[in-house]
Amino acid sequence: MVEGSGNGRDVSPQAKRADGRVALVGILALQGDFEAHAKIIEALGHQPREVRVPADLEGLDGLIMPGGESTVMTLGIEREGLAEPIRELVGRGTPVLGTCAGLIMLDRNHLGVLDVVAARNAFGRQLHSFEADLEIEGIEGGPVHAVFIRAPWVAEHGAGVEVLARVDDHPVAIRQGNVVAISFHPELSGETRLHELALALQTPTGRPVRAT
């Protein structure tokens, strides 16, 4: 069964949440490791939908912006006319999780959804790729095993941004309203708690979280 009018594939129409309601979670699927996120969404009992065109954003209960290559993703978002529809979705209070390049895409210099500036490849050549166990604000049950791959960190952020975790004093997990954005890849270690944290978010005021 293919739901929606876009090109996106709904991977698991049978998935249900514990309360019986199917949560439809979009995963930007222009480039990057969107399939690993789909598996996490399924493991949580949600229904993933690959997002490639604006119509795929309709009716979503949540959106994942995956890791990959932010320059390639920027071109894809422009080509498909996805920037404004994504901003609208976030502005309506839809829970969003951005990981790695996904964090970069949400910053002031890209979609302008988060009041942050991401520094690309911030850990430098020596730390091209590394793993760390991180305590993250709002996540119970022990540290999160975080896989960093040519990861960004948050170089600047506004007062409305809450820092949830740091590495060497640099923010690597943040929250602003209905958006959680992280520098690392929880999907590669089968970690589901960041997805759960993000999907539980809503803005109490329904106010847009777009940076001004």
Residues assigned a catalytic role? 100, 185, 187
For 133, other C-beta atoms within 10 Å of its C-beta total 9
According to the binding rule CB under 6 A, does residue 150 interact with ligand GLN? yes
- The binder of ligand GLN chosen from 7, 12, 121, 192 (CB under 6 A): 121
When asked if residue 70 is in the footprint of ligand GLN (CB under 6 A), the reply is: yes
3-state secondary structure of 176: strand
Shortest distance, CB of residue 100 to ligand GLN, whole angstroms?
A: 3
Cβ closest to ligand GLN, residue 12 vs residue 121: 121
Alpha-carbon span 117 to 110, nearest angstrom: 9
Whole-number minimum distance, CB 104 to ligand GLN, in Å? 5
DSSP per residue over 62-93, as a string?
Answer: EEEE--S-HHHHHHHHHHHT-HHHHHHHHHTT
Side chain identity at residue 163, one-letter code: V
> Is residue 68 at the binding interface for ligand GLN, with CB under 6 A as the rule?
yes
Cβ 12 to ligand GLN shortest distance, Å: 24
Taking alpha carbons only, the member of 35, 51, 31, 52 closest to residue 43 is 35
Q: In the Cβ-directed half-sphere of 1, how many Cα atoms lie within 13 Å?
A: 8
> Which span sits near ligand GLN by CB under 6 A: 10-18, 79-87, 97-105, 203-211?
97-105
Interatomic CA distance for residues 52 and 26, integer angstroms: 10
* Interface size with ligand GLN, residues (CB under 6 A): 11
Backbone angles phi, psi at 79, to 5 degrees: -60, -40
Least Å from the CB of residue 77 to ligand GLN = 13
- Nearer residue to ligand GLN within complex by CB, 70 or 203: 70
Q: Kindly identify the residues of this chain, within the stretch 188-207, that bind ligand GLN according to CB under 6 A.
A: none
Interface ranges with ligand GLN (CB under 6 A): 67-70, 100-101, 104, 120-121, 149-150
